[in-house]
Amino acid sequence: VIRRDRDYYDRSGGGVTLSGGEALLQWRFCRDLLKCCKEEGILTCVESALHVHPKAIDAVAPYADLFIADIKQMDTDVHKKYTGVGNELILSNIEKLVNMEKPLIIRMPIIPGFNDNVAFIDSASDFILHNLGNKPTYVQLLKYRPLGVEKAKTLGLPERMLNMQIENHEEFEDRIRSFAKRMNEKGIKTIAGSKDRK
C-alpha cells in the first residue's frame, strides 16, 4: 500500500508518517513497518504524544527520520487535570529523543485558559534551552481549534471545551505571534502557525 505512493514521496520530498491515536502503543508493528520503509529509501516520521514506555522509543527510533511531539503544559498537575496523566514521562521521552540526536519538531498548541500565558511559554522555553540544549529542529505554536466540541455533543460527552472559546481570533493570533517572538528572542527557532518547514 505504501509503495503505491512512491512517486508522490519522491516528487514532494515527503514520506510516511505514523500518527494516531497513538501509534507507539503498537510499537512492534511501527518498528517493522518503518524498517521496511527505510530499506526502500522512504523517509519516515513518527507523530506521538510520547506517553509510552521508553522501550517503544528505543525500538522505533533507529527507523524514524523525524519525530513530532507536543508539549501542552509544563505543570504536571495541570497537565494531569486536563489530560488524565502527568507530563513526566512525556518530557522524559522528549529528552531521550534529543539525547539520541533524533530530529524533533515540538508542537505547542496554545489553548485559552490552559496555557495561553507567558508563564507557560517561559517554562517551556527553559526546558527547551536547558534540558534539551535547544536542539529541536523547531517549535511550532499552534492556535487552538475547537474541533472536538461538536463531536463531544454528538457523543453526549460533557462539554468541558465550551469554556475554551476564543472571543477575538485576531487578538488570540497576535498573542501567539508575540509568544513566538518571545521564544525566538531567547534563541529558540519558533514559528507561529502550521506552515510546513523543510
In the numeric block, the cell 460533557 is attached to: 158
Rounded Cα gap, residues 46 and 34, in angstroms: 9
- Adjacency order of strands within the sheet including 190-192: 15-18, 43-47, 66-70, 104-110, 138-143, 190-192
* Each residue's pLDDT expressed in tens, for the chain with a length of 198 residues: 999 999 999 899 899 999 988 999 999 999 999 999 999 999 999 999 999 999 999 999 999 999 999 999 999 999 999 889 999 999 999 999 999 999 999 999 999 888 999 999 999 999 999 999 999 999 999 998 766 667 777 887 766 655 667 778 899 999 999 999 999 999 999 999 866 444
∠ CA 142-167-112 to the nearest 5 degrees?
45
pTM of the predicted model, to two decimals?
0.90
